[in-house]
Amino acid sequence: MNTIAFIPSIIGGLIGLDIFIDDKPIDLGKVTHILPDLGCIHYSVERLGKYDCPIYTCSCGDAGCGGIEMQVLANTSTIAWKMSAPLQFFYLFDYEQYADAFETYQKGLRHLLEVRRVKCTERPEYVRRLLEPL
């Protein structure tokens, strides 16, 4: 079983997220044109089943453009990420640990916004949705 951590940031007014797996930054090798898709990650915490979900998207915002083929497989005890292109990887997480990691991300993001008052230029409804309780 792998472990995951989501680290929040606000850089240039934009909300970001870094992914650590087994305490190390996720290794994307030479693939530099893909970024985590925060909306999709949020969605993956709440949805069970097997579905196409680009946890990563092209840096232009269009997962199709990035040639990304990725599935999420989730049940009540585990959640897996399976990417077949442009990289091949398979990670299996404990569902509770995954959900806790996302809640920790939300707390960290709330801290940046509300306590440290980092300037954020994202749409307010997008920010509200990211911070919605799981």
Angle between helices 38-46 and 95-110 (to 10 degrees): 130
Separation CA 63–CA 66 (nearest Å): 5
Separation CA 83–CA 105 (nearest Å): 23
Residue 48 vs 65, nearer CB to Zn ion: 65
- Provide the 8-state DSSP code for 48: -
Task: For the beta carbon of residue 85, count every other beta carbon within 10 angstroms.
Answer: 11
* 34 sits near Zn ion (criterion: CB under 5 A): no
Q: Which of 14, 48, 65, 85 binds Zn ion (CB under 5 A)?
A: 65
Q: Stretches 12-20, 41-49, 56-64, 112-120: which one binds Zn ion (CB under 5 A)?
A: 56-64
Closest distance to Zn ion from the beta carbon of 28 (Å)? 15
Residue 105's nearest CA partner among 127, 122, 84, 130 is 130
Q: Stretches 9-17, 36-44, 62-70, 123-131: which one binds Zn ion (CB under 5 A)?
A: 62-70
Q: Which of 15, 58, 72, 130 binds Zn ion (CB under 5 A)?
A: 58
Binding site for Zn ion (CB under 5 A): 58, 60, 65
